[in-house]
Amino acid sequence: MDKLIIYPNDNGGVAILVPTESLELAMKDIPSGKPYLIVDAADIPTDRTFRNAWTADFTDAEVKA
Amino acid sequence: MAGTVVVDTLQADSTSTLVLKNGVANTPPTVQDSAGTQIGTFCRAWVNFNGTGVVAIRAAFNVSSITDNGTGDYTVNFTTAMPDANYAVALTASAGNNNSSLVCTVKSATQYGAPSNQTTTACQIVLVNYVNSLIDSGAVYVSIFR
C-alpha cells in the first residue's frame, strides 16, 4: 500500500496502520476518538532502532468518530 | 432447500473456483465424518507479514489491516469479526538464521493472564527475544481458528 494511517498510541508513541486491501476498509481499525493522519508509506522511517520513541504532530489531524 | 448430496469428489470446471457457501451468516461450513460428527473446521483468518522496516503484508485472508504498535508489537485487525473472542491463535515468526529463540504470544494485560487483548475484531500479538526484549521479525505468521 502506498498510503498508511498513523495515530497516537496509548504509550505516547505512534501506531501505524497498514491496510491489507484498501485504505477505506482499514479506516474502521482506527480507535474511536483518536486523531489520525493518512501518510505516504515512503515517509515512514525504515530504521526501527528507536521505533518506540517515534512521535508525530497530530495538531491538525481529523479525529475518528 | 435442505438436503444431502452424496458424491466422491467436488470439482469446479477449469475456469471456476470451487465455492462452499454456508446458509448461516458468519458461520463457515464444517467438515464431518460418516457419522455426522464434526471433525474439522476452516481457518477464519490468516496473515503473513514483514514486521521489519515499514510493515508490509505479503498475503492475508479476512484481515483488514495490521497495526504496527511499536517494536515487536502488532495488532491483527479482522475484516469480518469473529463470533466471539474464544478463538484460537496459531502464531509463529522467523527468528533469523542464528538459532535465536523467539517467543510469540497474544498480548495480555496481566502477566500470564488470559489473553485480554484478543477481541472479536482484533488480536494484539508481541514477539520477545531470549533476553525478554520486544523484537521485530521479517516473517510473522498468524492463523485464527474458531
Q: Which of B76, B78, B67, B56 is nearest to B137 (CA)?
A: B56
pTM (predicted TM-score): 0.90
What residues have CB less than 8 Å from B137, skipping those under 6 apart? B51, B52, B72, B93, B94, B95, B102, B127
Chain A residue nearest residue B50, CA to CA: A18
Q: What is the mean pLDDT of chain A?
A: 95
Q: Is the pLDDT of residue A3 over 90?
A: yes
Please report the ipTM that was assigned to this predicted complex: 0.94
Partner B, chain A 10-49, Cβ-Cβ below 8 Å: 11, 13, 15-21, 25-26, 28-29, 41, 44, 46, 48
Cα-Cα-Cα-Cα dihedral sign, residues B22, B144, A5, A44 = negative
pLDDT of residue A63: 96
How wide is the angle at C-alpha B2 spanned by C-alphas B41 and B31, nearest 5°?
Answer: 15
B96 or A37: whose pLDDT is higher? A37
Of A16, A20, A52, the CB nearest to B64: A20
Dist. CA B92–CA B105, nearest whole Å = 9
- Is residue A4 within 8 angstroms of chain B, CB to CB? yes
How wide is the angle at C-alpha A46 spanned by C-alphas A43 and A49, nearest 5°?
Answer: 125
Q: Average pLDDT for residues B81-106, to the nearest whole number?
A: 89
> Mind telling me how many Å the CA of B61 is from chain A's nearest CA?
9
